[in-house]
Structure 1
């Protein structure tokens, strides 16, 4: 508090510092305690853990100060003489009073004599009432025989005052802070009593307190004494203030207001340490609420401004920001540091242009920053001199930062984890604020140690997330948007639970006969194990699809594989084969949600009724396939259950929404996928990852297909060339005739010379590309060979590989197919 000179006027002419511990309580809109300071614990006897979250009326039964906690704010009765309500029912004026209460435990005969001030708060934050309280007994206790005529120190550190006893009755009240000398100092110290919060929140509350009236003590002689916090004042300054109070009391013939002995200095130091520990505990509770690296950095910066410092700039090593894992070695002059956060109490925008967030720079050896990052210890600069300011400013080209840093107190603290410096914080105090001292150095080091651990946790999570994303991207195929007789669009959404990697996948596999296999699967569970299993199953599906196995047989083999891999391998899978020439789908299901088919004729969408089957890995359950006729323009939609399943909701609701949204017309396949994602993703509650595959089944018209059955004699090679050349000229693709004839002759020659075949078929298919297929009844697959200068054979497939856009071989039930593709000429 501030002690004023007694006199007849309402305003003291001089103000001198005194000490009264304040209890600070913040109440939210529900009437529950959200902040309970150490002073509140000492005054009222309730621990912070027991107080926070309880109805305030149970803890502070001060008549008139705390309305009935059972009712919402604005509906209280008996608000006290000064606490009034506005027309909308909100408390709009402050209250103050004095009350005598029994000790909370009821076991002591002593009664509390409490002075209190209550401020209503408005704004976007949860705070709705700020209560300040003090022990009046610290000022008014009668003289005991053993300390008559002297100033005694109470056991709890509160200083009794004979001067205050002499003045008689004391009552709490309110006054403009500008009524007192040092008004700016009074206003500047108000944030120090508030709980740790952002600069904006603190400024908002302080502005309301100053507008409603500064807390004061009113004495019988109409003297008013402003009440101020005493947290964070340096010990040297405290001693100076005590000497001033003693000199003032002696000049006015009053007993000494405070002792100046060493034990009182020790008490001040103890109080400062205690308050700093409380500050560190509050900071620890505020940081680390998220594993997001960016959010953690912002939390750390806002936790120290303005309570501990006025400016906080945070720098991290390049490897930490890039998510490249734990940085190695001691940093040097070439190490790049990224400015990732800057919090300050200066006017908005003052720092933004000079030291913008996101800038990267090294620090030379002569700077205190380099000393901090290499030694791993805090560096304290009581005042930045002109010389040091010039040295620091030389690093910033075309920007003069000297007005921002010169003559300010600076503390540089390292952010370390496992004895490696991940970054550092530059803390600056305004010139008017006490300089950083050795106790601040210790506090800053402890703060940085806790922040370093939190940042390292966020860094490790970011690194693991990056690894998981890389793994997921490597396992998900990059599917071409065109397939024979159709188009494909896909979407993958990472889950919001247990990391961003999961076991959902989709795929498409090119099959003989211009067919395409479409696959969607979901490994049960999340994380890297599920992703690894997904990679194994996806590879197995591709391998077995290349063998042209029927869908039900492929799932049977996949189930056997999963059981061999381990008993915990479980997955669902939907496998479909699209034949654009026959205009049909063949589908088999292994415990997966059914697909949706949208009919082009009338826009109607339906869930296909398939035998569900059991998940892959269960074993012993048969799988069945179903044939479905499709028409050109129909769309097939396959997805995983993460899109339609929401916790607490029947999956049928999601399937109905999926079916409805799939039927909406869209300009493109991508637009159609986005429409479905928006419709399903707005319901909220989605935790699982999502794989979505949509195929538009355009089919291949009969006039775009040419098919011939050939003999297996040598003369058929020439006939094959003639048939292909004539057909391409009929399709106006004469530019491809020469290349296509050469490649067809190589494939037919390979069958005639090397295959033990009695059947030979040749087919041309014109779609997005020109597809040529040669099929026979020999199961032996041809392979590329190395041919020497004198070798007669071994060059055919090398010619095909060199000239074709793509080529391949596949086994079929009746033999094999060798195919190649040529791009169509641009029109």
Structure 2
């Protein structure tokens, strides 16, 4: 059946255009602030009320910029616009690329407009790369590793991703993110360091470790408030010492750290930690804004992967619990069965073998459309219904008619293909009915294979309820030296091959495998899957082989 993603991915949050808005500061010719834009407030972390009427270098704590700024303002005021780089100040640790040009106020006095672009060195490039790499797969650990790989070492000297342990559980009960004492329990999914030899770091910060963050740590505060928390090396060291009972002195070199919340779909997932070592400019307001954008992208990818993993586990467990682990076959018949799940998502393939009175046996095989929990749940309902119906000794055509009515009543809009066969080992007589399922194949000892007699009908659940589907029942006899193959479309259909070509390949593989198996159906089944290995992993595969016991000369009279 066609693949359907198990969870609708949430797109990455777009970059807030305001985050890219330049900072504009109006100065009089003496360097006093007379105007302060929203961009300046974001870039320099100062509200307009704090900035107006102050000396800009003094306000920002950058006295080294006073002389160059005064020269730039004087030049602009004289009618010569200035463009250049001012010395580093907090909020712009690498210096600021700025322009100064004169303006004439309504009062007639001259003002100077200082314009500074958001000083994200490579920030847009970093965000673009993050958009390309983070969340490209639905692998939770890989998504976390991609996040730190993008940020280290360009943005930070170290980075780590922590997710709340309860978010990784299969259930999603609405309980608090923290414990009664205010601490939070998180799992470290990924960590990266810029050092040439990160061996010691990997030992101190192993991926997959569960960590309890006390309430007074920056990490717990980040979760509790949903805001980025800036802190220094001692706070990080205290947490490690409490957890391991030893000090990791090298952490003290990381003097500027950010704990950035990870949130998606309106709830907290965990946090990212970024740190810079002594000798590198500490994080400023612009860096904090960039970290928040990176964290938003990471959170979306992590939440998509988390939801996919939970759904995949649920559907896998559901399907595993419903597929038969033991098959009882009456005397006179042999049967081999195989099931191979898809690598990406669990589908709705199912089968059952039901012993009937008089040593007859019913074989039912089907495929519910789609993948994931919905398909697995529909498969479970149809399989249980089919088992009950054939156990009541209803003929195959009536079994399918009643399954069709059941499929139309399922809560979710579902349809499925199904094939029902009742076989009498004494006579090798088979009664068959089909609802849109690929036809069984019969392999003969002369090295040929052909379709076994079956009349196709509508898939289950697609007929107009006012005009129920009718299924034709066909009778055929299984040759005493033949092998009958039932299968689902995952074995014969792919993106590069239509189902008719796939059935032809299966027929060739069936004949070749049976010829080399010495009569063993188990070996024949393994051989078929080996020859069609390129089909496996794309979709669920079910294969059942049925044949008479060796030594039969023909149907009983």
Pairwise same-fold verdict (TM > 0.5): yes
CA contact 1:571–1:615 (8 Å) conserved in 2: no
CA contact 1:379–1:412 (8 Å) conserved in 2: yes
> Which of the numbers 502, 527, 542 marks the counterpart of 1:675?
527
CA contact 2:368–2:415 (8 Å) conserved in 1: yes
> What CA distance in whole angstroms lies between the structure 1 residues aligned with 2:360 and 2:346?
31
For residues 547-585 of structure 1, the C-alpha deviation after alignment (integer angstroms, 9 at most, x for no partner) is 223334433444465567799764332222233333444
> What CA distance in whole angstroms lies between the structure 2 residues aligned with 1:565 and 1:393?
53
The equivalences for 1:198-347 within 5 A come to: 235=92, 238=95, 266-268=114-116, 270-272=117-119, 276=123, 279-280=126-127, 282-325=129-172, 328-332=175-179, 335-347=184-196
Cα 1:679–1:232 shift into 2, 3 Å: farther
| Equivalent residue, structure 1, for 2:480 | 631
Q: Are 2:538 and 1:695 aligned?
A: no
Q: What is the TM-score normalised by the length of structure 2?
A: 0.69
> Which of the numbers 614, 638, 642 marks the counterpart of 2:490?
642
| Equivalent residue, structure 2, for 1:470 | 317
Cα 1:603–1:375 shift into 2, 3 Å: farther
| Equivalent residue, structure 1, for 2:240 | 393
> What CA distance in whole angstroms lies between the structure 1 residues aligned with 2:315 and 2:134?
25
Offset of 1:368 from its aligned partner?
A: 2.4
CA contact 1:481–1:487 (8 Å) conserved in 2: no
Cα 1:389–1:233 shift into 2, 3 Å: closer
| Equivalent residue, structure 2, for 1:555 | 400
Q: Are 2:449 and 1:606 aligned?
A: yes
The equivalences for 1:777-788 within 5 A come to: none
The equivalences for 1:235-634 within 5 A come to: 235=92, 238=95, 266-268=114-116, 270-272=117-119, 276=123, 279-280=126-127, 282-325=129-172, 328-332=175-179, 335-350=184-199, 351-381=201-231, 383-385=232-234, 388=235, 390-397=237-244, 400-418=247-265, 420-474=267-321, 476-485=322-331, 486-495=333-342, 500-526=345-371, 530-559=375-404, 570-599=415-444, 602=445, 604=447, 606-617=449-460, 618=463, 619=468, 621-631=470-480, 634=482
Cα 1:626–1:334 shift into 2, 3 Å: farther
> What CA distance in whole angstroms lies between the structure 2 residues aligned with 1:279 and 1:648?
37
> What CA distance in whole angstroms lies between the structure 2 residues aligned with 1:608 and 1:512?
28
Mark the runs of 5 or more structure 1 residues left unpaired by the alignment: 1-145, 161-229, 243-261, 703-827
Which structure is larger by alpha-carbon Rg, 1 or 2? 1
3-state SS of the aligned residue for 1:483?
A: coil
> What CA distance in whole angstroms lies between the structure 1 residues aligned with 2:295 and 2:409?
51
> What CA distance in whole angstroms lies between the structure 2 residues aligned with 1:699 and 1:473?
32
CA contact 1:572–1:590 (8 Å) conserved in 2: yes
3-state SS of the aligned residue for 1:454?
A: helix
> What CA distance in whole angstroms lies between the structure 2 residues aligned with 1:629 and 1:337?
60
For residues 226-264 of structure 1, the C-alpha deviation after alignment (integer angstroms, 9 at most, x for no partner) is xxxx9999535638x99xxxxxxxxxxxxxxxxxxx979
3-state SS of the aligned residue for 1:676?
A: helix
> What CA distance in whole angstroms lies between the structure 2 residues aligned with 1:407 and 1:301?
16
> What CA distance in whole angstroms lies between the structure 2 residues aligned with 1:341 and 1:148?
50
3-state SS of the aligned residue for 1:572?
A: strand
3-state SS of the aligned residue for 1:464?
A: helix
> What CA distance in whole angstroms lies between the structure 1 residues aligned with 2:228 and 2:365?
55
Offset of 1:594 from its aligned partner?
A: 1.9
Offset of 1:646 from its aligned partner?
A: 2.3
CA contact 2:120–2:290 (8 Å) conserved in 1: no
For residues 497-528 of structure 1, the C-alpha deviation after alignment (integer angstroms, 9 at most, x for no partner) is xx734433211111112222111123345565
> What CA distance in whole angstroms lies between the structure 2 residues aligned with 1:355 and 1:435?
22
> What CA distance in whole angstroms lies between the structure 2 residues aligned with 1:307 and 1:612?
65
Offset of 1:546 from its aligned partner?
A: 1.3
Q: Tell me how large the CA RMSD over aligned residues is.
A: 4.0
Offset of 1:635 from its aligned partner?
A: 3.5
